Amino acid sequence: MNKTPKGFRIHLGLFGRRNVGKSSLLNMITRQNAAIVSSYAGTTTDPIEKPMEFLPLGPVVFIDTAGIDDIGSLGQLRKKKTKETESEEDEQKAKSKNKKKKSKARSKHKKGS
């Protein structure tokens, strides 16, 4: 189950303001204490990745992030990291779309030959 490489997993990012329950949601979905939950805004710092089998999707990786409204100098760094994670997820989505397109094109080509 956990053998699927990260690149083959669907990436599901949790983005939003601080203290809205992103980490609580991750813990609820994974049924683990994967991320620290607290009423103190700015608890999550580095993105937390949790690979799991999430039916009906299959192998996914959940990514919990710091808030998009973080403040202070450390907050700016956390926001930057969240933005980077967001872009990485978009890139990954585009890549997997391309992969699907290519494999569709290949199977069409096979059928035609």
Ligand X SMILES: Nc1nc2c(ncn2[C@@H]2O[C@H](COP(=O)(O)OP(=O)(O)O)[C@@H](O)[C@H]2O)c(=O)[nH]1
First to last CA, the chain: 36
Binding interface with ligand X (CB under 6 A): 18-24, 37-39, 43-44, 67
Out of 11, 13, 23, 48, name the contact with Mg ion by CB under 5 A. Answer: 23
Which among Mg ion, ligand X, none contacts residue 24 (Cβ within 5 to 8 A by kind)? ligand X
Amino acid in the structure at residue 48: I
Q: Which residue has tokens 């872009």?
A: 87
Closer Cβ to ligand X, 81 or 96, answer by number: 81
Question: How far is 107 from 7, CA to CA, in rounded Å?
Answer: 22
The two beta strands, 58-64 and 10-14, are parallel
Which among Mg ion, ligand X, none contacts residue 7 (Cβ within 5 to 8 A by kind)? none
Closer Cβ to Mg ion, 86 or 96, answer by number: 86
Question: How far is 4 from 62, CA to CA, in rounded Å?
Answer: 14
Closer Cβ to Mg ion, 2 or 40, answer by number: 40
Site stretch for Mg ion (CB under 5 A), options 4-12, 23-31, 87-95, 102-110: 23-31
Question: How far is 67 from 58, CA to CA, in rounded Å?
Answer: 27
